[in-house]
Amino acid sequence: MGLEQYKGDVAMCCRCSACKFIPMQMVQGFQYANVCPSIAKYNYHSYSGGGRLNIAAVMLENGFNYTDRLLDIVYNCQMCGACGVSCNYAMDMEVLEPINEFRIKCVEDGKTNPALDKVIAGLRKQGTMVPGAKGKRADWAAGLKLKDATKEKVDVFYHVGCLTSYNKDMWKLARATVKILQKAGVDFGIGYENETCCGGRAHQMGYKEDFLNQAEKNMDMLKKAGVKTLVTSCADGYQAFKVLYDKYNLKGDLEVFHITEYIDKLIKDGKIKLNKKVNLNVTYHDPCHLGRLGEPWIHWKGKKIPGEKFVFDPPKEYRRGTNGVYEPPRDILDGIPGIKLTEMVRIKEYAWCCGAGGGVNESNPEFALWTAKERIEEAESTGAEAIVTACPWCEKTFNEAIKESGSDLKVYDIVEIVEKAI
């Protein structure tokens, strides 16, 4: 069905512009009212969530007229889903799904972005979304003597993710995660060279077939290894395993945890204690794919009830960003002695994106950086010394933005803070 299935949804856009801003009652002043990086940067209404739906509505009716500008609109979007949250505060309609389907259609029609093609070529060749990845996926684990979860039975499969595995600057996150899991006495292992990309980023970029290939490979590997529980410290990976695999009926009964959820559970079960003082004033950045896009997939099949109302049989429940992972990271930070958490204006379901998503990191690094700089400025406005996040992609982009802007702000993944506290 693809984009066609959302014909009714895209026609529902009333062009109210809510998709450009955080939900109206959460606006706290002139600053930090924007929620969509794309419209904030490019200004034409076409770059907003609503504008994208308006284009889809007309093209579904009149045919697809691909121009360079259209592709510029399509690919200059982090697929962060913030537009959908703001829209769905008031409206019953799908927003991000048709935007993603529009991209998938572009790829199917051969209207791709060369930079993203290159990333996908790397994925097909090396099984990773990190272009030009060198070395082996598990080089970071050298000397740690971790179990190979594909060869021996473990309670928990730790899926490390592409960026953490192949970017040496991010190895510290995997090692911190290992230290935490070991400290808690968790029986876990990694996939070593059998681990492959989750495919989530490929899906955001519109390469649905490549995503499905990766998903099938992963699930085959996990099933063969008898894995029941998967933990990942990558927000993209979390959303892929938990939400996208479920959407395409590939997840089965695999239990998926983000590391923040798992640490929170370990703390509440008394397996680890955060008893070392970490004197730091921090603010917390909600990664899009852990927060609003990390809420469970809702399976639904039905039809619009003919008539005047936009209602369905059976009733349709929308994913509005309500049930993302927001509290576990905050509970963890709150539990660390010495940590003072000050919130930014744009948080949780209406958090501003780090800029890296949707392939923008590769297709338009300048835009990714511009978006990250805005977040760094917002973080600085809280008076925090550091911005804490829970995704390596966010950490990488923030570090690049800080380097360019000359900010003194520090960036940490939450596992680094927990590592200091245990």
Positions in the binding site for other proteins (CB under 8 A):
8, 11-12, 14-18, 20-21, 23-30, 33, 43-46, 48, 50-52, 54-55, 57-59, 62, 65, 67-70, 73, 85-86, 88-92, 307-311, 315, 317-318, 320-322, 326, 348-350
32 or 157: whose CB is closer to other proteins?
A: 32
Tell me the angle at which helices 327-334 and 414-421 cross, rounded to the nearest 10 degrees: 30
CA distance linking residue 148 with residue 138, whole number of Å? 11
144 or 298: whose CB is closer to other proteins?
A: 298
Residue 251 tokens, joined: 């997840």
Q: Half-sphere exposure of 365 toward its Cβ, with a 13 Å CA cutoff?
A: 7
CA distance linking residue 79 with residue 205, whole number of Å? 8
CB 291 within 8 A of CB 351: yes
Q: What is the 3-state secondary structure (H, E, C) of 46-95?
A: HHCHHHHHHHHHHHHHHCCCCCHHHHHHHHCCCCCCHHHHHHHCCCCCCC
CB of 23: closest distance to other proteins in angstroms?
5
275 or 323: whose CB is closer to other proteins?
A: 323
258 or 292: whose CB is closer to other proteins?
A: 292
CB of 62: closest distance to other proteins in angstroms?
8
45 or 410: whose CB is closer to other proteins?
A: 45
- Cα dist from 388 to 91, 335, 371, whole Å: 32, 15, 17
CB of 284: closest distance to other proteins in angstroms?
16
Instruction: Report how far Cα 410 is from the mean position of its chain's Cα atoms.
Output: 21
95 or 146: whose CB is closer to other proteins?
A: 95
46 or 405: whose CB is closer to other proteins?
A: 46
CA distance linking residue 284 with residue 347, whole number of Å? 8
CB of 315: closest distance to other proteins in angstroms?
5
Amino acid at 139: D
- Region label for 101, one of left (φ > 0), alpha (ψ between -120 and 50) or beta (otherwise): alpha
CB of 7: closest distance to other proteins in angstroms?
8
CB of 415: closest distance to other proteins in angstroms?
25
CB of 50: closest distance to other proteins in angstroms?
7
CB of 37: closest distance to other proteins in angstroms?
15
68 or 269: whose CB is closer to other proteins?
A: 68
14 or 144: whose CB is closer to other proteins?
A: 14
CB 286 within 8 A of CB 417: no
- Cα dist from 337 to 264, 316, 333, 344, 421, whole Å: 15, 44, 9, 21, 8
Quick check: bond before 328 cis, omega within 30?
no
CB of 69: closest distance to other proteins in angstroms?
4
Amino acid at 313: D
- Cα dist from 53 to 1, 82, 364, whole Å: 17, 14, 22
